[in-house]
Amino acid sequence: MRSKRYQQALKKVDLKAVYALKDAIKMLADFPRAKFNETIDLAFRLGVDPRQSDQMVRGTVPLPHGSGKTVRVLVFAKSGEPAEAAKGAGAEFVGFEDMIKKCSDGWTDFDVAIATPEAMGEVRKLGKILGPRGLMPNPKTGTVTQDTAKAVSEVKAGRVEFKIDKTGNIHVPVGKVNFSAEQIEENSRAVIEAVDKARPAAAKGRYMLACTLSTTMSPPVRVDLKPLGVHT
């Protein structure tokens, strides 16, 4: 049973209609608010087959105004310059053998993991723990790097990752309900452009089948992508 707040919001939106991005954002602002600062989520349904390795869609995008979320960062690095640089950039957890042991025991109380190339040989052994949670460092997302300070700074500043799930969908946080309409729009445009650029060469037919904006507790509002000049 949906909440009374959800039902009230549902009366304000036509689930079959598509709205210009600006209008979709205005509609979210008109929905009844929850008692906490809800996350705004941009979701895509893509016309690719995620079971095919050549149709994988993933990447990173720096949000112009950040995500509004406090990001806890773990850096796998042996003692030395990369470890010290990571600490200086604000990483909450930095270590090598001690952190690998902690994770192997089931600890995953962090949001992003970064590793130096040297550390990845051991970090890969944590695949069964980090992989399913989307926490495994990956060169394609800039989280396997010698420049740990830059990686930590970018993540802290609002760089977010996106990756298609098994059902062909992507969900990306684009802010909080206390963001201005302009901030949400600029963050959303950045994400839409990044997902568009990540279109696999092997993809055939339509690419972006649908796009919606929603808050943590609201119904989805469909976004019209055609005026934004992307692959629909």
The predicted pLDDT at position 179 comes to 96
Which pLDDT band, with edges at 50, 70 and 90, does 1 fall under? low
pLDDT mean across residues, the chain: 93
Q: How far is CA 103 from CA 106, 144, 158, 198, in A?
A: 5, 17, 24, 31
CA distance 175 to 144: 26
Cβ proximity of 148 and 91 under 8 Å? yes
Close Cβ partners of 116 (under 8 Å, ≥ 6 residues apart): 76, 77, 78, 82, 144, 145, 146, 148
Residues in the chain: 232
CA distance 31 to 33: 6
**Is 205 exposed, middle or buried (CB count within 10 Å of its CB: 0-12, 13-18, 19+)?**
exposed
Q: What is the dihedral of CA 108, 109, 113, 118, to 10 degrees?
A: -60
Strand segments, DSSP code E, in 77-120 are 93-95, 112-115
CA distance 136 to 125: 10
Using only C-alpha atoms, what is the Rg of the chain? 19
Give 25-63 pLDDT, tens digit per residue.
999 999 988 889 999 999 999 999 999 989 999 999 999
Mean pLDDT of 136-147: 93
List the one residue out of 17, 44, 41 whose CA is nearest residue 187: 41
The predicted pLDDT at position 191 comes to 97
CA distance 96 to 4: 48
List the one residue out of 58, 60, 63 whose CA is nearest residue 165: 58
Structural domains in the chain plus CATH codes: 4-66+159-228 (3.30.190.20), 73-157 (3.40.50.790)
List the one residue out of 177, 116, 175, 179 whose CA is nearest residue 149: 116
Give 61-109 pLDDT, tens digit per residue.
999 999 898 899 999 999 999 999 999 999 999 999 999 999 999 999 9
